[in-house]
Amino acid sequence: MDAILLILTGLILFLYALNNLSQGLKEIAGDKLNSFLDRFTNNVFKGILSGLIVTILLDSSSVVIIMTIALVNTKAMTFRQAMGVVMGANIGTTISSQIFALNIGEYAAVPILSGFIMMFFFKQKFYINLGKVIFSFGLIFFGLFTMEEAVAPLKDSDYFVSWLQTL
């Protein structure tokens, strides 16, 4: 029962952080979204780099690709710009998998504390929103770390291992 509660807690933290992260990024971008997108995706290399970074931050190439398709659909991005972002998203998935393999969640307190300080001690809206992004980024790692720790005992359970093998 404790494992289930820890998994749910980690999942809630993860989803909350993803929502906060996207809100913070949206507030930082503001009304300048089109010029922001043009600046970071105006050539294929920049598009790949942007897709890579956003995928690492969000840890979901699917979300990045879906957002990119939506932006192309609304004509905020061209198909050429989208291709670079999609390639970067696929590369970013590989890199983020390696980051999580390094147990970076153990150090999640650093971005959580940094973001918290920025949100509450800075007065400029840009820095408050940047703090929100950094805080959310740390919270994503902490949520994933919590879920990982909750399921760690299952690897030694013969019943669970045999159940997974039957699947």
- Report how far apart, in Å, the C-alpha atoms of 28 and of each of 7, 36, 43 are: 31, 10, 22
Place of tokens 């050539």: 43
Quick one: pLDDT at residue 30? 64
Predicted confidence (pLDDT) at residue 128 exceeds the cutoff of 80: yes
Predicted confidence (pLDDT) at residue 115 exceeds the cutoff of 90: yes
**Phi-psi region at 74: left, alpha or beta (left = phi > 0; alpha = psi -120 to 50):** alpha
Instruction: Please say whether the beta carbons of 42 and 81 come within 8 A.
Output: yes
Give the residue from 64, 126, 129 showing the smallest Cα distance to 95.
64
Query: In this structure, what DSSP letter does residue 108 have?
Result: T
Predicted confidence (pLDDT) at residue 142 exceeds the cutoff of 70: yes
pLDDT in tens, 73-96: 777 788 898 999 999 999 988 887
Other Cβ atoms closer than 10 A to 98: 10
Q: Which of the residue ranges 8-22, 60-74, 141-155 would you say has the lowest mean pLDDT?
A: 60-74
pLDDT in tens, 38-70: 888 888 899 999 898 888 877 778 778 877 887
